[in-house]
Structure 1
């Protein structure tokens, strides 16, 4: 009965979330269903187990959600994201429209700009370039997804994406875990995605299909409509770090900064993150963390998160110093950025709370034994578990955290026994979570299609190819190379 309760609770969570119900209600309700079938005390699991898992996630990762959303909003309202997009469009031009959109998305998201902020800025740029190049606009969502939601989210070493931060407390790693393997995975995702999109463009030209003649069921939809759509919002809040309605709060500067000023905060994120991870924190005396007042933690458990926090803070201060006069409604911009972080972090935390309750059920031992018994070893089972949970929840961060909350200590034990570098575990887990999370109900997919004014029927196959198939090939390559040569 306990296993039936877990499956039923998960089915309720997925089914109602897909219909737009808030995960704030669904997650505790699904957890209580699992506890009910197991004959466990309901209120105790709600207030003690569920809330402990929820609050634990918030305590660890809220600073990254908060600063990431604030940085993204400041980048948007200062005109910096628009300046980067315009720079790429002008340099590469309509002849390389797809590459321009992909690289613009990659630059801003690898530099720390929130996913949904990037969507609302990149879509108008992509529409202009694709129209000038006469490329079918059904390819716009896939081009943006490739640049923003694949290799810069899970593979590139040092990415400040929350998905890359989640494994750090579990494995004692840094944002630059397994950098060589990450670069190889990123190259595979990028090259495969560009090949697929180029193939689609060439096929359209042979068929005489252009931008306007491509069948589109929905006209170019105003971004304000997509941002305010309740269904889009509910799905988006478990897939990113930014609440879409806040995108249009504040005021975007009509005076765009020069390209080098726009790029500088993005470079600061990467440079400071690197310096903190390899130069500053390793040379600091952090022995005080062993004191009881700091709780059960260690330098390896918090170092990676501290690196990302300091990097985002440094980038925010740099951006403010360079663009002070371009932010006439600074208070409104800051309020919007801060407010945009709250619902996403609580929503993902509730998914984690559900996973905490499930992991506490006696029947979960059957699930754990099945996962660990998957042929291929710990790397394969870790990839499968993060993939499946990310697919079911529609959230890479939620699925990844649920998997590691339940199985992280077990994988660390296996890593020690089998001589597997935790950095390799980190990279496999992150790439795995960023693969099947792009199913049709994923919040990022739903939001992107809504902002582009496209439908699943028109554009989803291309998203599957660039965001799922390419990532799966990269994940397989990392597992094979990691098994043969270890972490590098």
Structure 2
């Protein structure tokens, strides 16, 4: 009983204090030790040093290269002006009447190309604000438009996405980032079209009521056309990431000679390697081809590398917390209850993952915990590993954006909006519609078996 109480109390505390802005780097170890202390099963310091730290370190070992390469790539794309050039081109094609769709697509293109979610937020803010202002659309919809392009289908559903979340299940299930392409495309279509329809509907309603973009004197961003590379040059790094990721995943790391070479060394091919190679090559390309747009390359690379540390350590801390919770007997009871639910097995995958993501306020944190504690049970359900991969990720992108989600708080801060004005729209496009999509693709898989 005390174990269950410790889990509930520490999870509530994690949500509350994360919402209040307390860093998870401090919260996770403290709450992990608190859970151990309240449960009385293991000493708090033992939980910290022998359970929390190995779990956190294991996550860093597996995913540090992805975070590092992705952060440097995103920093270079932002500082060079390549991100702005890409978004501006798309906005020119769509025109002001389709401003919301242009923002979503521009954000999605950058995210799918490998740009960090947080970098995308900074890069898209001036573009999105300018587009909405020209169209007379209320600014309070801007955070949701950016979130739709960055935090949903390009992160969880589109096959081949280089976002680190899409690489996480590969280590556990032997899949690739292109797992379950049919399910992924179906889910992406539901999220994109459903989200754009909702935001356009809200925009039309507000504008019909006489509400416009509004006065926002705190805005301060540079002109979109301020010394940026041409579209083709700016888009080339994204093509490099996608092409290398696709080619290496589909044609090189699937060769028997390559697989056996690594097996002889006692390891398996890691699904994150193609993404890391693609990002690394793209980084070199940007440094060489866009050098005239980079004033201090060493500093930019350093800043990008440092920028990748906080996200991975935040997530690793959540994994460490999950490792301690996993070690408690009460959690095993909860886990068995989830596995024993009298519902189709794919829904067990979705429900457990989205609940964990909602609890920690992070799709990656929830996925990491679910993979750590439930991956073996998932595989034992005789579900196609590709289906597990994709359904798990789409579900993780469901309840992950509760108000205490760090990405949501960052997004609102960057766009100078707040929860009161913008959160309900964010919730609709990042929680409501994605949860609908995971139900649809789960049913589709159950009926057809197609992935």
Q: C-alpha deviations, 1:344-376, integer Å up to 9, x for none?
A: 111110110111111111222211112112332
Whole-angstrom distance in 1 between the partners of 2:15 and 2:431: 20
Contact 1:5–1:38 at 8 Å: present in 2 too? no
Q: Deviations along 1:160-186, whole A, 9 cap, x unmatched?
A: 111111111111110000011101100
Q: Is the 8 A contact 1:79 1:253 kept in 2?
A: no
Instruction: Give the superposition deviation at 1:254.
Output: 5.0
- Matched residue SS, 2:126: helix
Equivalent residue for 1:274?
246
Q: What is the 5 A alignment of 1:358-437?
A: 358-415=325-382, 420-437=383-400
Counterpart for residue 268 of structure 2: 298
Q: 2:416 aligns to what?
A: 453
- Unaligned 5+ residue runs, structure 2? none
Q: Deviations over 1:83-116 (max 9, x none)?
A: 0111112221212111111111011010001111
Name 2:19's counterpart in structure 1. 18
> How many residue pairs were aligned?
447
Quick check: 2:354–2:396 contact (8 Å CA) kept in 1?
A: yes
- Listed as ranges, the matches of 1:12-411 within 5 Å are 12-36=13-37, 37-212=39-214, 219-222=217-220, 254-283=226-255, 284-291=257-264, 294=266, 297-299=267-269, 302=270, 304-411=271-378
- Cα deviation for residue 288 of structure 1 reads 4.1
Give yes or no for contact 1:54–1:352 (8 Å, CA) kept in 2.
yes
Is the Cα contact below 8 Å between 1:436 and 1:468 reproduced in 2?
yes
Q: For residues 443 and 43 of structure 1, what CA distance do their matches in structure 2 show?
A: 28
Could you tell me whether the CA contact under 8 Å between 1:423 and 1:487 is conserved in 2? Answer: no
1:3 equivalent in structure 2: 4
TM-score (norm 1): 0.88
CA deviation digits over 1:418-440, x for unaligned, max 9? xx210000001100111111111
Per-residue Cα deviation, 1:184-216 (whole angstroms, up to 9, x for no partner): 100000000111111112212322221127xxx
User: Does structure 2 conserve the Cα–Cα contact (< 8 Å) formed by 1:78 and 1:253?
Assistant: no
- Partners of 1:223 and 1:346 lie apart in 2 by 30
Question: What SS does the aligned partner of 1:166 have?
Answer: helix
1:236 matched to which residue of 2? none
Kindly indicate whether residue 437 of structure 2 is the aligned counterpart of residue 474 of structure 1.
yes
Per the TM alignment, residue 7 of structure 1 is displaced from its structure 2 partner at its CA by: 1.9
Change (3 A) 1:223 1:43: farther
> Following the alignment from structure 2 to structure 1, what is the Cα–Cα distance between the partners of residues 40 and 169?
29
- Superposed CA RMSD in Å reads 1.8
Query: In 1, are the aligned partners of 2:252 and 2:258 still within 8 Å (CA)?
Result: no
* Aligned equivalent of 1:227: none
User: Is the CA contact 2:249–2:274 (under 8 Å) kept in the aligned structure 1?
Assistant: yes
For structure 1, the 5+ residue unaligned runs are: 225-251
Name the counterpart of 2:446.
483
Counterpart contact for 2:357–2:363, Cα < 8 Å: yes
Q: Is the 8 A contact 1:154 1:430 kept in 2?
A: yes
In the alignment, the residues of structure 1 paired with residue 331 and residue 136 of structure 2 have an alpha-carbon distance, to the nearest angstrom, of: 53
2: CA distance between counterparts of 1:289 and 1:118? 35
Does the residue aligned with 1:52 lie in a helix, a strand or coil? helix
In 2, distance between residues paired with 1:350 and 1:465? 28
